[in-house]
Structure 1
C-alpha cells in the first residue's frame, strides 16, 4: 500500500484518537492495540516517514496514560516503604557514606580535643549544662536531666526539635552542600564533646547504655538528613546530562523522600527519650537489647535492604 493511501485510510481515526480522549480503559487499550498495528506496518514500509514518527509518539502517549492510571496492587504508602525509599537509599549510598564519615570524624576529633583541653567541653556545651551535669553526678544521678520534664511534654518537644534539626540539615544542601557539611560538623562536635564528658568522669559505658537508647536513632537520623542535604547540593553542583533546574527537582524529590522516611524514626527516638531513657536503672540486658535493635534496624533498612531491593528491581538505578 502506498504511503498516501495508508495515510488517507487511517488519518481520521488517528485524529479521533489524538483529540478525543477516552476514559474507558477497554477502549483505550483497543486504541493502543490498533495504533501498535499501524505503527508496525508503518515501520516496515515507511521507516523514515513522518507518519511513522507521528504514530510512535501517539502510541507512546497512550501507553504512558494506560500505565499511569493503572491500579497498582497494594497501597502506595506500602510501596513507598518497601520499594521507593530503599531504591533512593541505594542510589545515594555514597552521600550516606560521606555524611557518616564527616559526622563520625568530627565526633572523634571533638573527643580528642576534649582529652587535651579541659576547657573544650565547656566551650562546646556551655558552662550551665556542664555544671548541671556535674551537680547531678555529685547527687548520684548523672542522667537526672532526662527526668526533670513531664514525659508527654518532653516527647512532643523532642520530636518537633528533631524534625526541625533534620529539616535544617537537609535544606542546608541548597548552599552547594556546604550548609549540610557545617551542620554535620556542629552536631558531630557536640556529640563527641558530650560523650567524652562522661567517659572522663568514669561514666562512659553507663552513659552509652542510657543516652544511646534514644541517641542511636536520633543521631542516625541526623546523619541520614545530612545525606539528603548532599543529594540536594550535588543536584546543583553535578547536574549531569540534565538541565540544572531539572536536576534540582530530582534531587529535592529524593532528599525529601529521605526526610519523610525519617519521620517515624524521629518519633521513635523522641518516645524513647521521653519515656524510656529516664529509666536509668533498667537492667543492662534490656538496655543493650534496645540499642542492638535500633542499630540493627538502621543498618538493615538503610544499607542492607536497599541492596536487596535493588537486586530485585528490573532497573538497577532510580532515575
Structure 2
C-alpha cells in the first residue's frame, strides 16, 4: 500500500489517539472517553511496525514513534486505572448493562429456563423421555454421580479433598467452554445461540427431572442450588450476548452489517466479561462447596437460596445510584 493511502486510512485513528493522549497528559481525561486507549495504543504500535517494514518516509515514522513513546508512558502510568475500572464494572457496570439489554436477556432467559423447566417436568412425568437425549450409559453415569451413598457429589465423586483445586480448574474450563460456545455461535444470525440455549436447557432439565423421579432429589438439588445461581444465569447471559450479535447481522438498520456488528460486539463483549466472572465464581463454589457431604442438605438449601437472592438483588439494584439508564 502506498504511503498516502496508508495515511488517509488511519489519520482519524491517529488523531483520536492524540486527543486521548493529550487529555491524559493534562490529567483531564475522563474514564469514559479513554476506554479504548489501550486498544488504540496497540493499533498505533501495529501501524508503526507496518510503516517501518514498508519503508515509509522518516517523517511519518518519527511522528508515529513519538506518539508511541508518549502512549507507552501514559499506558504504564495509568494502568492502575484498569483495576479501578474492573471494580467499577463489577459493582455497577455489569448489572447496569444487563438492565439496558433487557430485551435480549429476557429472550435468552425464556428459551433457556423455559426449556429447562418444561423438560424437567416432562421427564419426571414420562420416565423414558430421558433416553431421547442421553443413552443408557450416560444415564447410569449420571445416577452414579448423584448417588446418595457417594462420599462426594457431582463429577468425579471419588476424588480426594486434595483434588479440589484440580476440579476447580476443570470446572472453569468446562463452564467457560459452554459459555463461549453459546456466545460465539450467535454469529450464525443468532440461530446458534438459540440452539445452545435450548440444548443446554433440555439437557439440564432432563437430568433434573430424572434424578428427582428416582429419589436422588436431595443429593442433586442440594448440589446444584449453590453454584447454579451463577452458572445458570451466566449461560443465559452468554446466549443474550450471542443474540445481540445475531440481531445486528439480521437487522443492521441504516448501518452496514460490519459496522452494526462492530457496535453490537462492544456491548456483547462486556456481557461476556461478566459471564466469565460468574462462571469462575460458579466453578469455585462447585469445587469447594457443592460437592461436600460434611454438611446437611438443609444448610446447602439455605446457602443456595441466599446466593440466588444475592444474584437477583445484584442485577435489580446494583449500580442504580449512578442513575444509569435501564
TM-score, with normalisation over the residues of structure 1? 0.69
8 Å Cα contact 2:187/2:245 also seen in 1: yes
* CA pair 124-213 structure 1, distance change in 2 beyond 3 A: same
SS, match of residue 239 in structure 1: coil
8 Å Cα contact 1:232/1:255 also seen in 2: yes
Match of 2:257 in 1: 244
- Give the unaligned 5+ runs of structure 2: 1-17, 28-74
| 1:275 and 2:288 matched | yes
**Structure 1 vs Structure 2 CA RMSD:** 3.1
Residues 69-84 of structure 1: pairs in structure 2 closer than 5 A = 75-84=84-93
SS, match of residue 289 in structure 1: helix
Measure the CA separation in 1 of the matches of 2:155 and 2:173. 19
Measure the CA separation in 1 of the matches of 2:241 and 2:204. 20
8 Å Cα contact 2:153/2:219 also seen in 1: no
Measure the CA separation in 1 of the matches of 2:201 and 2:115. 5
Residues 1-319 of structure 1: pairs in structure 2 closer than 5 A = 23=22, 25=26, 75-135=84-144, 140-141=149-150, 143=153, 145-149=155-159, 150-305=163-318, 308=320, 312-313=323-324, 316=325
* CA pair 75-233 structure 1, distance change in 2 beyond 3 A: same
Offset at 1:309? 5.3
Offset at 1:191? 0.9
Measure the CA separation in 1 of the matches of 2:146 and 2:311. 32
Q: Deviations over 1:160-218 (max 9, x none)?
A: 11111101111111111110000001000011111111210123244212222222221
Structure 1 or 2, whichever has the larger Rg, is: 1
- Give the unaligned 5+ runs of structure 1: 1-19, 27-68
8 Å Cα contact 2:92/2:318 also seen in 1: no
TM-score, with normalisation over the residues of structure 2? 0.68
Q: Deviations over 1:55-77 (max 9, x none)?
A: xxxxxxxxxxxxxx9x8899222
Offset at 1:225? 0.7
Measure the CA separation in 2 of the matches of 1:81 and 1:264. 9
SS, match of residue 75 in structure 1: helix
* CA pair 215-79 structure 1, distance change in 2 beyond 3 A: closer
* CA pair 129-82 structure 1, distance change in 2 beyond 3 A: same
8 Å Cα contact 1:125/1:194 also seen in 2: no
